[in-house]
């Protein structure tokens, strides 16, 4: 049975995995070109079906076992092979799919500060959400806690190197969307 993180309790990273969080290993990963180069944190959103929350569809999607007959939208995405390092659900529960020393397939065609292939040097965090539906207090609390922990282990991820998917793939992506409160997140992160 997966372990659940308790918001507020200290977290550590042990051999690429956050302590005290659920783990569900995704096959959609490979080795990074360099583990010394992790220097970007990318925040995303996902909901399956779109704008519906709860259930295990996101985990199934990242594990390549999404039942495409469960919803019409799933037939459109069932062939995709994607993952993220972390998912934070609406209750603030955290699941890790890929160890931080490996490359998760979250950014797609992307570029940051003139450098392409952001998956090579980034950590991806998915928030269960949608561009126009406010995120929950529990999600912000968990995201701040996770970000602080990640930055202790990956000091190249400075404040100006925490971005949305929309920032690295602006012609394709809009997440985490206008509903994400960047000011609140930065204030809580720096508070």
**Could you give the maximum distance between any two Cα atoms of the chain, in Å?**
46
Give me the residues paired with residue 23 across strands.
96
Contacts of 84 (CB under 8 A, 6+ apart): 44, 46, 62, 97, 98, 104, 106, 124, 125, 126
- Residue tagged 């701040």 (tokens): 144
Q: Which of 173, 53, 149 minimizes the C-alpha distance to 96?
A: 149
Residue 126 annotated among the catalytic residues of the structure: yes
Sign, CA torsion 184/185/186/191 = positive
Sign, CA torsion 150/151/156/157 = positive
Catalytic one of 36, 126, 128, 171: 126
Q: Which two tokens stand for residue 79?
A: 């062939």
- Answer whether 159's CB lies under 8 Å from 188's CB: no
Active site (catalytic) residues? 126
């Amino acid at each position: 049975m997966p372990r659940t993180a308790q918001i507020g309790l200290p977290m550590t990273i042990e051999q690429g995995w956050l302590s005290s969080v659920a783990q569900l290993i995704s096959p959609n990963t490979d080795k990074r070109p360099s583990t010394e180069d992790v220097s970007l944190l990318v925040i995303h959103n996902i909901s399956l079906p779109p704008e519906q929350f709860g259930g295990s569809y996101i985990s199934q999607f990242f594990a390549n076992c999404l039942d495409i007959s469960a919803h019409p939208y799933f037939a459109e995405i069932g062939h995709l092979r994607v993952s993220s390092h972390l998912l934070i659900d609406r209750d603030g529960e955290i699941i890790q799919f890929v160890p931080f020393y490996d490359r998760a397939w979250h950014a797609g065609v992307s570029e940051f500060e003139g450098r392409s292939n952001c998956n090579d040097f980034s950590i991806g965090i998915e928030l269960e959400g949608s561009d126009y539906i406010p995120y929950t207090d529990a999600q912000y609390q968990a995201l701040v806690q996770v970000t602080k922990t990640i930055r202790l282990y990956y000091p190249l991820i400075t404040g100006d190197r925490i971005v949305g998917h929309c920032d690295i793939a602006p012609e394709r992506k809009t997440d985490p969307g206008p509903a994400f409160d960047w000011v609140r997140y930065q204030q809580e992160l720096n508070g």
